[in-house]
């Protein structure tokens, strides 16, 4: 039995089409009435886009309904699905809190409201019915002013119980004109002791070596092994992990077929660079984490050994996994222990204190 860690999932893209459709039907008939039926909506919501920019536009549809009042509704269903269908034991959920505040308010008031959003998401995530260890990653956004992004970093520092890291999102082609500012934002995050990741080397437009040293993990990073393999040595030396999200590259037109990822995995494995396989936008893609794993196997991108190495890497690079070992080793020890006669069982090394009892309730 194995449980998984998901390190790269956007709150905006995590709502599966059926849940979003039901929400629209109940609360926003002005949106659902634009589609003849559910199938038409699903087709619109999940179909591939030509570019990353076009793809990111879809997030605005979900962001507009994920208001402070509606967030608990979506988060409850997200964690329920992650637990029941994806076997997740650990989930880092990322979003830009500023984009969940009311649009009509002036910037300073929206900045102030961000704390309430973090608290709302934090409280909604900490339910016991579906016990997945969940933390937030707050995303700076390439289209937001520096002042807002700095406030996002400061907010991450204020809520260590809910927030485990900061990210940079919003389209990597936008970074070029603001590199100095982005470097100073990451330096600020580091000075506050905040963990860092960032969408970087996702597309050919998003390759900025200036930002690389500031990241503990790299959001996507696939262009490093594909186009800049000379960087792999330093990525390995820094212990940085790539968050690879296979379906995304097909939906954004970055890759044409999943088999192109074989080069990414092969070169990273050879160079000693860890990869965590992630979904990015499981709802928007309608593809859950176990299916990402299965596709990589069936398309001969990786084998079972490689898959297991990536699953283990995900827990090792998780910013807030609270245990010393992974669920698979804890569960194996527990299951073996229950099968053995009492005297023998006592010789099995038990992961004392590491089991989250809530899993078995």
Contact positions vs Zn ion (CB under 5 A): 280
Block residue for tokens 């886009």: 49
Classify residue 355 by burial, with Cβ atoms within 10 Å: 0-12, 13-18, 19+. middle
Spatial contact of 220 and 184, defined as CB atoms under 8 Å apart: no
Q: Which is nearer to Zn ion, 92 or 280 (CB)?
A: 280
Q: In terms of CB distance, is 281 or 311 closer to Zn ion?
A: 281
Given a contact cutoff of 8 angstroms between Cβ atoms, the answer to whether 175 and 206 are in contact is yes
Cβ 332 to Zn ion shortest distance, Å: 32
Measured from the CB atom, is 139 or 331 closer to Zn ion? 139
Assess contact for 56 and 320: CB atoms under 8 A.
no
**Between residues 65 and 282, which has the closer beta carbon with respect to Zn ion?**
282
- The structure tokens 């709502």 sit at 15
Residue nearest to Zn ion (CB): 280
Residue with the two structure tokens 């909506």: 41
Nearest-approach distance from CB 5 to Zn ion, in angstroms: 16
SS3 content of the chain, % helix, strand, coil (to 5): 55, 15, 35
CA dist., res. 225 & res. 268, Å (int): 7
Q: How far is the CB of 138 from Zn ion (least distance, A)?
A: 13
- For helices 289-298 and 304-317, what crossing angle results, to 10°? 150
Which is nearest to 138 in space by CA: 100, 107, 168, 113?
Answer: 168
Q: Tell me how far, at minimum, the Cβ of 103 lies from Zn ion, in Å.
A: 22
Minimum distance, C-beta of residue 328 to Zn ion, in the bound complex (Å): 26
Residue among 12 and 327 whose Cβ is closer to Zn ion:
12
Residue number, 170 or 225, with CB nearest to Zn ion: 170
The CA distance from 195 to 256, in Å, is 33
- Closest distance to Zn ion from the beta carbon of 8 (Å): 6
Torsion region of 342: left, alpha or beta (phi above 0 gives left; psi -120 to 50 gives alpha): alpha
Residue 161: CB minimum distance to Zn ion, A: 24
Residue closer to Zn ion by CB (options 9, 323) is: 9
């Amino acid at each position: 039995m194995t449980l998984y860690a998901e390190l790269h999932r956007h709150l905006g893209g995590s709502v599966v089409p059926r849940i979003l459709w039901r929400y629209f039907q109940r609360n926003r008939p002005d949106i659902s009435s634009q589609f003849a039926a559910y199938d038409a909506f699903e087709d619109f919501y999940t179909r591939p886009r030509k570019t990353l920019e076009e793809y990111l536009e879809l997030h605005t549809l979900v962001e507009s309904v994920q208001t402070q009042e509606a967030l608990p509704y979506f988060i409850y269903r997200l964690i329920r699905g992650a637990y029941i269908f994806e076997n997740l034991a650990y989930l880092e959920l990322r979003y830009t809190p500023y984009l969940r505040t009311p649009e009509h308010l002036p910037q300073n008031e929206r900045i102030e409201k961000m704390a309430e959003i973090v608290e709302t998401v934090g409280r909604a995530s900490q339910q016991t019915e579906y016990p997945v260890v969940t933390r937030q990653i707050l995303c700076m956004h390439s289209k937001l002013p520096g002042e807002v992004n700095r406030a996002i970093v400061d907010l991450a520092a204020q809520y260590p119980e809910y927030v485990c890291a900061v990210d940079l999102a919003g389209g990597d082609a936008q970074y070029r004109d603001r590199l100095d500012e982005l470097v100073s934002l990451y330096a600020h995050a580091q000075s506050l002791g905040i963990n860092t990741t960032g969408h970087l080397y996702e597309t050919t437009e998003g390759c900025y070596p200036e930002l690389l040293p500031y990241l503990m993990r790299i959001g996507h990073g696939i262009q490093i092994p594909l186009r800049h393999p000379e960087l792999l040595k330093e990525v390995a030396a820094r212990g940085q992990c790539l968050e690879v999200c296979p379906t995304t590259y097909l939906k954004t037109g970055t890759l044409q077929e999943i088999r192109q990822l074989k080069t990414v995995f092969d070169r990273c494995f050879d160079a000693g660079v860890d990869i965590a396989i992630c979904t990015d936008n499981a709802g928007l893609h309608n593809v859950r984490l176990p299916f990402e794993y299965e596709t990589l196997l069936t398309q001969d991108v990786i084998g079972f050994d490689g898959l297991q190495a990536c699953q283990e890497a995900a827990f090792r690079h998780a910013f807030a996994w609270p245990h010393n070992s992974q669920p698979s080793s804890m569960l194996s020890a527990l299951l073996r222990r229950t099968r053995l006669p009492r005297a023998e069982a006592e010789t099995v090394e038990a992961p004392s204190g590491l089991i989250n009892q809530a899993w078995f309730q």
